[in-house]
Amino acid sequence: MLIELKVKNFAIIENLELSFGEGLNILSGETGAGKSILLKSLSLLMGEKGEADVVRSGVDHAVIEGYFDLSKRPDVLSALEEMGLDITDETLVVRRIVSAQGKGKVYLNGALSPLSSLRNIVAPLITLTGRQTPLIEMTGQHDNRHLQSRAYHLEILDMYAGTWTLRVEFEKQFQRLRELDSEIERLQEADRSREQRLDFLKYQRDEIEALGLRPGEEEELQARVSRMRNSTRLIEFVSASVDSLYANDDAVMVGLHQVLQRGGELASVDPELAARLKPLGEAKALLEDAVLELREYGRKLDADPEELNQMEERLSSLRKLQKKFGQSVEDILKAHREMVEEISTLEKYEETLRGLDEERKQLSRSLNKRARELHERRSGGAELLDKGVNDELLDLNMKGVVFSVAVQWAEELTSTGQSAVEFMIQASKKDEPKPMAKIASGGELSRILLALKRVVGSSDRPRTYLFDEVDTGVSGQTAEKVGKKLKAISKGQQLICVTHLPQVASFADQHFLIEKTQRGGGMRMSVVGLTKDQRVKEIARLISGEKISQTSLEHARQLLAESH
């Protein structure tokens, strides 16, 4: 829902701030007051291109900013999150800057974004891949693209005919069909070089397996080779160390033994000496153990030239594999597992392809059956929708205009079935039905959308509807019906409607007056929210024109009383 709109230096708007609410928001004013300019600024929030001529004369740029409450639109919040934008407050702030040179910038929640992102979030075109409910939906001279979209026609019909759940299931199956087609094509493409690929993979697999690698083996090999290459130096060190610690006449152990022996003799003189000698006794035991371990280590250091040669060859083979398959043994073993899997897949090619073909045949039969079911239910729903909308259009004084839904069996299966759906209208019963998108005026489209929303019902995702020209050619009792229908649709939604009719304006939850004044050598536009008394005067003006009479004031009060 659009909570707040700020417009600065846009055409004749110098500085404007508006706060909209839920329900029916009415905009009224004299002819030429600037209502179309305000709607034009709203269309920029929907992603329309900003041209240089919208910038007010004498300034560098125009700014349009919209603040949306997304608390009831988890779908939009999810889309914003996927774009990496902040959604902490469950709001969306759209900021458009249009320069006098025609260049522009778009900001979504403060982040510079492409114009396409704005369109996809605020006013996406309905696509054949799924349901996308816009934040703003406009009908009138500025934007009719949703009501003119065949995909949107199909969406409305599916909502009305109760086929939406079936369609969603169909789309999932259709997506699986496309996945199967891709898998089959990939396998068939691979089969052209399958034998050659198998031979190559098996050669590489055998090359790795011949080495019999283990995780962590590289470090172990490097350590063993290094030790064997330096065995002479290590043996010399061990021999010298054992001599210094144990074997020589002046060895550490000899001196330590003598100290402990003499100390033991004197311990009877002073018992405290025994306590001081205890750590030396422990040190002697540790040194004896250390000398034994050094001797054992030295016995293992004899270098076998043949064994050293074998290990160096193994290390060299490992280096060759690393150049081909990865920097570590783990990388090589991972590459081996992938080879084994691919070999298995290629060897089971025919079995796999048969399985995929069979699944595709069954899925294709199911889709064809469901497509036929969808088409038949859509055709039945279209007849009821025709009647309902035409009754509403008659009630809206669109006499002679006949609405119909053309449902044709399409040549190709798509993700939505095999139905080509398009809204048609006839200017009279004598005329041939023609595509609504090509011949309907902005006012007719507005009233057709109004009729559709009355018949089909509101979406489960609240949005902002912008109705322009909905009251063209309407007056009297029909105008009151238009107002009632707008009021009914606005429950749980937000409607922003430009009107010239007092009967429509009287149903407003919020009423805004658009005025244009001469100031500072140029025209300026202002929009103000009306109080209860001000609403009476504005509705009286809509009734009688500039000369407001007591009679028109009484009539205005009566309209307001009857509409609430």
Can you give the residue ranges of every domain in the chain?
196-347
Q: How many angstroms separate the CA atoms of 163 and 149, rounded? A: 19
CB within 8 A of 485, min separation 6: which ones?
392, 396, 450, 451, 454
Q: How many angstroms separate the CA atoms of 289 and 246, rounded? A: 11
What is the predicted pLDDT for the residue at 307?
A: 64
Give the C-alpha distances (Å, rounded to integers) separating 507 from 39, 194, 549, 560: 20, 73, 22, 7
The mean-pLDDT minimum among 316-330, 343-357, 483-497, 502-516 falls in 316-330
**Alpha helices, H only, 192-216:** 194-211
Looking at the predicted structure, is the pLDDT value of residue 143 above 60?
no
pTM higher than 0.85, yes or no?
Answer: no
What is the predicted pLDDT for the residue at 128?
A: 34
Q: Which two tokens stand for residue 519?
A: 């100031």
Looking at the predicted structure, is the pLDDT value of residue 61 above 80?
yes
Nearest to 64 by CA among 50, 85, 78: 50
Taking only the tens place, the pLDDT of each residue in 366-383 is 999 999 999 999 999 999
Looking at the predicted structure, is the pLDDT value of residue 428 above 70?
yes
Residue found under tokens 């404007």: 16
Computed on alpha carbons and rounded to an integer, the radius of gyration of the chain in Å comes to 43
Answer yes or no: are the C-beta atoms of 2 and 20 closer than 8 Å.
yes
DSSP codes of every residue in 83-137: TT---TTSEEEEEEEEETTS-EEEEETTEEE-HHHHHHHHSPPPBTTB----SEE
CB within 8 A of 553, min separation 6: which ones?
536, 537, 540
Looking at the predicted structure, is the pLDDT value of residue 523 above 80?
no
Looking at the predicted structure, is the pLDDT value of residue 470 above 90?
no
Taking only the tens place, the pLDDT of each residue in 151-210 is 889 988 998 898 988 999 999 999 999 999 999 988 887 777 777 888 889 998 998 888
